[in-house]
C-alpha cells in the first residue's frame, strides 16, 4: 500500500511529561478566547504550564491526586487547565457531556466514581445535590463565589503556587487518564477509559499526518474525544495558538475576530463557514463574477487544467482572512462542500474516528486527499476490514469500558477493536465509510440494509423533518423483517393537512424513491410520528430509544 510522507511531531508517554515538554514554547501564546464584549484574552504556554502545575500540586496536597475528578463545564481555558492538572497529577479526568439532561450529568459523574467535581457556575447547582448526598467529597466552582466549605478553582490554583514541589506521581503510559462517554447514537452512553498513551499518541500521530498550522480555532466540545485530542492536545503539542470558543452563538464572530489558519470543525460548521463566505460575496456585489470564475475553474478542471487565477483566493482572504484549512470529523462531509471551498483556496480535510479509538483512525492529508473518503489510516494504527466492518489495532484503542468487562469483551477480538462501522479501503489506502453495522437491517435472505442510506433519500422529501428506517417483522417469523420508515413530518410543511393527506403524500414520494432502489431495500411500511425523535448531543437520532 502507498506510504505517505509524515511530519515529525513530539511524542509523550504521559501528561506529566507533556507539561514539561510544553514549557519549551515559553511566552508563545497557547490559548486565546474572546469574551462577550469581543475583548481578547490569552495565556502563554508559560502561564498555562504554571497554572496546570499549581492546580496539580493543590490537588495532590488536598489528597485528590490520582483520584477521579469530573469536569462539568462549557469550553473555556479553565477546562483545559483542569484536565491537564488532573491527568498530570496522576488522576483520571471524567469529561462530562454537558448537553445531557441534569439527571444524566449527575449519573455520568456517579457512574465514573468521581470524588471531586469541577463545575462552571452554570453547572454548579446541578452538581450540588451530589455533594449534599455525600456522593462526591468536593465540589469546586470554576469562577464566582464558592460556598463556605467548598473551594473556588482560582483559589485552588493560587494555593498551589505556594506549595513547594510535591513528589512526582508515578504514571504509567497505560494508566487511565480520562473517562469519556460514547455519543450514544446506537446504544446508551458508555464510559470509555482512555489511557495517557491512547490520547497522547493519537494527538501526536494526528500531527504526523496533518499540518494543522500555527494558529487554530475550535468550537468543538472538549468533553468529546474529537475536540480534546484533535483540537486541544494536538494543538498544544504543536506549539500552536489555539483560539477556543464555547458558545455557538459567537462561533462565527470569534472565528473572524481571531483570523486563524485552521478551523477544527464538524461538517455543519464547515457549511456555516461557506455560507459566511457567500454572504460576504453578496455584500460585495460580486456574486455573478464569483459564479463565473467558479464555472470556469470547474470546466478547466474537467480537462485536467488548473486555473491559476488568484481572484477567488483574494476574495476569500478579504472575507475569511488567512484561513487555509478546515478539518472535519464526527459526521459524513458532503464532498461537494470540499470541492466548493477548495475553489477559494481552503482545503477541507476529513477524518474519521470513534471515542473508543481516542478517537482518530484515519484522516486525509494536506497534500494527499480524496473528497468523499476519510483518508489513509493514521500512522501507528492498523485497520482491517472484516465482513465489511472496520477493525482497529494500535496505541489508540481504549483500555475498555469502565467497570463493564462484558461490554469490553464484546467489542474486542484479541487486540482488534471492532468499530461497528462499515468501510472499504481503496488501492491508494484511502478509507471510505459506507455505513454502521449496528444499525444494519439484516434480512432473512442474508441481505443487509444500511438505514442511513435510505434515510438520506427520504430526508430530501420536503414534508419530512426526521426519519428513522428500521426493520419490522413481516409477521411470518421473528427474524423475518422488511424495511420500514418512521417519519416525523415537518410541522410547517404539513400545516392544514390531515394525517391521511400527509400519509398519502409521503407514500407517493416514497414510491418514487423505491423505484430507484433494489427491491430488498424498498421501504414497505410508512408510519407517522407525532413526537420528535430523542436526539444525542450531536443531533443524531437515538435509535435505541425509539
Partner 1 sequence: MLELVQKIIFDVTGKKGVTLDTDFIQDLELNSFDIMNIICAFEEYFNIIIPTRDVWQIKVVADVISYLNKRGVNTL
User: Phi and psi at residue 362, in whole multiples of 5°?
Assistant: -145, 150
DSSP state of 544: G
**Shortest separation between residue 170's beta carbon and partner 1, angstroms:** 44
Options 149-157, 276-284, 331-339, 501-509: segment touching partner 1 (CB under 8 A): 276-284
Angle, alpha carbons 63-66-70 (nearest 5°) = 95
Q: Which string of b and e fits 254-276 if b means at least 16 CB within 10 Å?
A: bbbbbebbbbbbbbebbbebbee
Q: x-or-dash pattern for partner 1, window 213-252, by CB under 8 A?
A: -----------------------------------xxxxx
CA-to-CA separations, 464 to 59, 244, 461, in angstroms, rounded? 52, 35, 6
Options 127-135, 144-152, 201-209, 269-277: segment touching partner 1 (CB under 8 A): 269-277
Specify the residue, 40 or 444, whose C-beta has the smaller distance to partner 1. 40
Q: Which of 253, 299, 384, 508 binds partner 1 (CB under 8 A)?
A: 253
User: Hey, which residues does 418 pair with through a beta bridge?
Assistant: 391
Q: Which of residues 7-66 bind partner 1 (CB under 8 A)?
A: none
Residue 389: helix, strand or coil by DSSP?
Answer: strand
Q: Are 87 and 93 in contact (CB under 8 A)?
A: yes
531 CB neighbour count, 10 Å cutoff: 6
Q: Which of 272, 313, 343, 503 binds partner 1 (CB under 8 A)?
A: 272
**Shortest separation between residue 287's beta carbon and partner 1, angstroms:** 8
As given in the structure block, the three cell numbers for residue 154 are 482560582
Specify the residue, 159 or 185, whose C-beta has the smaller distance to partner 1. 185
Q: Which string of b and e fits 117-140 if b means at least 16 CB within 10 Å?
A: bbbbeebbebbbebbeeebbebbb
Under the criterion CB under 8 A, does residue 271 sit at the interface with partner 1?
yes
Options 49-57, 147-155, 196-204, 264-272: segment touching partner 1 (CB under 8 A): 264-272
**Shortest separation between residue 452's beta carbon and partner 1, angstroms:** 19
**Burial, 345: exposed, middle or buried (Cβ in 10 Å; 0-12, 13-18, 19+)?**
middle
Q: Which of residues 490-509 bind partner 1 (CB under 8 A)?
A: 492-493
Rounded to an integer, what distance in angstroms lies between the CA atom of residue 27 and that of residue 62?
30
Rounded to an integer, what distance in angstroms lies between the CA atom of residue 221 and that of residue 231?
9
**Shortest separation between residue 251's beta carbon and partner 1, angstroms:** 6
Q: x-or-dash pattern for partner 1, window 463-492, by CB under 8 A?
A: -----------------------------x
Rounded to an integer, what distance in angstroms lies between the CA atom of residue 238 and that of residue 340?
29
Specify the residue, 252 or 411, whose C-beta has the smaller distance to partner 1. 252
Options 112-120, 184-192, 270-278, 441-449: segment touching partner 1 (CB under 8 A): 270-278
Q: What is the DSSP string of 126-178?
A: HHHHHHHTTSSSEEEESSSPPPTTS-BHHHHHHHHHTSPPPPPP---TTSEEE
As given in the structure block, the three cell numbers for residue 28 are 508563545
Runs of H (alpha helix) within 352-433:
405-411
Q: Which of 23, 102, 282, 501 binds partner 1 (CB under 8 A)?
A: 282
**Shortest separation between residue 273's beta carbon and partner 1, angstroms:** 9
Specify the residue, 330 or 400, whose C-beta has the smaller distance to partner 1. 330
**Shortest separation between residue 493's beta carbon and partner 1, angstroms:** 8
Options 27-35, 273-281, 345-353, 398-406: segment touching partner 1 (CB under 8 A): 273-281
**Shortest separation between residue 288's beta carbon and partner 1, angstroms:** 13
Specify the residue, 188 or 283, whose C-beta has the smaller distance to partner 1. 283
Specify the residue, 275 or 444, whose C-beta has the smaller distance to partner 1. 275
Q: Which string of b and e fits 402-435 if b means at least 16 CB within 10 Å?
A: beeeeebeebbeeebbbbbbbbebeeebbbbbeb
Q: Which of 66, 173, 280, 321 binds partner 1 (CB under 8 A)?
A: 280
Under the criterion CB under 8 A, does residue 283 sit at the interface with partner 1?
yes
Under the criterion CB under 8 A, does residue 268 sit at the interface with partner 1?
yes
Options 197-205, 279-287, 373-381, 393-401: segment touching partner 1 (CB under 8 A): 279-287
Under the criterion CB under 8 A, does residue 278 sit at the interface with partner 1?
yes
Specify the residue, 292 or 476, whose C-beta has the smaller distance to partner 1. 292
**Shortest separation between residue 283's beta carbon and partner 1, angstroms:** 5
Under the criterion CB under 8 A, does residue 269 sit at the interface with partner 1?
yes
CA 435 to mean position of chain CA atoms: 18
Closest CA to 309 of 326, 289, 325: 289
DSSP state of 376: B
**Shortest separation between residue 286's beta carbon and partner 1, angstroms:** 11
Beta strand extents in 227-367 (DSSP E only): 241-244, 262-265, 325-328, 347-353, 360-363
Specify the residue, 522 or 537, whose C-beta has the smaller distance to partner 1. 537
Helix (H) or strand (E) holding 35, with range, is none
Binding residues with partner 1: total (CB under 8 A):
21
Q: Are 459 and 480 in contact (CB under 8 A)?
A: no
Rounded to an integer, what distance in angstroms lies between the CA atom of residue 308 and that of residue 347?
16
HSE-up of 309 (CA within 13 Å, CB side)? 16
Q: Which of 17, 276, 347, 502 binds partner 1 (CB under 8 A)?
A: 276
Specify the residue, 22 or 348, whose C-beta has the smaller distance to partner 1. 348
Under the criterion CB under 8 A, does residue 526 sit at the interface with partner 1?
no
Specify the residue, 282 or 413, whose C-beta has the smaller distance to partner 1. 282
CA 155 to mean position of chain CA atoms: 32
**Shortest separation between residue 468's beta carbon and partner 1, angstroms:** 20
Under the criterion CB under 8 A, does residue 295 sit at the interface with partner 1?
no
Q: Where along the sequence are the contacts to partner 1 (CB under 8 A)?
A: 248-253, 268-269, 271-272, 275-276, 278-283, 492-493, 539
Amino acid at each position: 500500500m502507498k506510504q505517505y510522507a509524515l511530519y515529525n511531531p513530539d511524542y509523550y508517554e504521559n501528561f506529566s511529561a507533556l507539561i514539561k515538554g510544553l514549557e519549551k514554547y515559553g511566552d508563545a501564546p497557547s490559548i486565546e478566547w474572546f469574551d462577550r464584549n469581543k475583548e481578547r484574552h490569552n495565556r502563554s504556554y508559560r502561564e498555562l504550564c504554571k497554572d496546570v502545575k499549581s492546580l496539580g500540586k493543590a490537588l495532590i496536597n488536598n489528597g485528590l491526586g490520582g483520584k477521579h475528578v469530573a469536569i462539568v463545564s462549557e469550553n473555556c481555558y479553565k477546562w483545559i487547565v483542569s484536565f491537564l492538572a488532573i491527568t498530570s497529577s496522576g488522576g483520571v479526568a471524567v469529561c462530562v457531556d454537558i448537553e445531557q439532561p441534569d439527571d444524566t450529568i449527575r449519573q455520568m459523574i456517579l457512574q465514573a466514581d468521581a470524588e471531586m467535581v469541577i463545575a462552571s457556575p452554570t453547572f454548579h447547582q446541578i452538581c450540588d445535590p451530589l455533594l449534599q448526598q455525600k456522593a462526591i467529597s468536593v465540589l469546586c466552582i470554576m469562577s464566582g463565589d464558592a460556598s463556605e466549605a467548598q473551594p473556588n478553582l482560582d483559589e485552588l490554583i493560587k494555593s498551589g503556587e505556594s506549595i513547594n514541589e510535591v513528589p512526582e506521581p508515578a504514571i504509567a503510559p497505560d494508566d487511565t487518564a480520562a473517562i469519556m462517554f460514547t455519543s450514544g447514537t446506537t446504544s446508551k452512553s458508555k464510559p470509555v477509559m482512555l489511557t495517557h498513551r491512547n490520547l497522547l499518541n493519537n494527538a501526536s500521530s494526528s500531527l504526523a499526518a496533518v499540518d494543522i498550522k500555527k494558529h487554530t480555532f475550535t468550537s468543538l466540545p472538549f468533553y468529546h474525544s474529537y475536540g480534546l485530542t484533535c483540537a486541544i492536545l494536538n494543538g498544544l503539542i504543536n506549539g500552536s495558538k489555539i483560539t477556543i470558543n464555547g458558545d455557538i452563538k459567537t462561533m462565527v464572530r470569534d472565528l473572524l475576530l481571531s483570523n486563524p489558519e485552521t478551523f477544527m470543525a464538524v461538517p455543519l460548521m464547515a457549511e456555516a463557514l461557506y455560507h459566511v463566505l457567500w454572504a460576504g460575496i453578496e455584500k460585495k456585489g460580486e456574486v455573478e463574477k464569483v459564479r463565473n470564475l467558479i464555472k470556469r475553474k470547474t470546466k478547466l478542471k474537467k480537462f485536467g487544467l488548473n486555473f491559476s487565477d488568484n481572484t477567488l483566493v483574494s476574495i476569500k482572504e478579504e472575507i475569511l482572512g488567512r484561513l487555509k484549512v478546515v478539518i472535519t470529523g464526527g459526521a459524513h462531509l458532503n464532498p461537494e462542500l470540499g470541492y466548493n471551498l477548495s475553489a477559494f483556496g481552503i482545503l477541507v480535510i476529513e477524518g474519521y474516528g470513534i471515542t473508543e479509538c481516542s478517537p482518530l483512525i484515519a484522516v486525509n492529508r494536506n497534500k494527499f486527499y480524496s473528497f468523499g473518503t476519510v483518508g489513509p489510516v493514521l500512522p501507528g494504527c492498523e485497520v482491517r476490514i472484516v465482513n465489511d466492518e472496520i477493525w482497529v489495532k494500535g496505541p489508540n484503542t481504549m483500555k475498555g469500558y469502565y467497570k463493564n468487562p462484558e461490554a469490553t469483551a464484546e467489542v474486542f477480538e484479541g487486540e482488534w477493536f471492532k468499530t461497528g462501522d462499515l468501510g472499504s479501503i481503496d488501492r491508494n489506502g484511502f478509507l471510505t465509510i459506507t455505513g454502521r453495522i449496528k444499525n444494519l437491517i439484516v434480512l432473512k435472505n442474508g441481505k443487509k440494509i444500511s438505514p442511513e442510506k435510505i434515510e438520506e433519500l427520504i430526508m430530501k422529501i420536503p414534508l419530512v423533518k426526521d426519519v428513522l428506517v428500521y426493520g419490522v417483522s413481516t409477521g411470518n417469523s421473528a427474524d423475518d423483517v422488511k424495511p420500514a420508515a418512521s417519519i416525523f413530518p415537518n410541522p410547517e410543511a404539513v400545516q392544514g393537512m390531515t394525517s391521511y393527506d400527509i400519509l398519502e403524500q409521503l407514500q407517493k414520494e416514497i414510491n418514487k424513491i423505491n423505484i430507484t432502489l433494489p427491491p430488498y431495500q424498498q421501504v414497505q411500511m410508512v408510519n407517522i410520528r407525532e413526537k420528535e425523535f430523542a436526539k444525542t448531543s450531536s443531533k443524531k437520532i437515538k435509535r435505541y430509544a425509539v
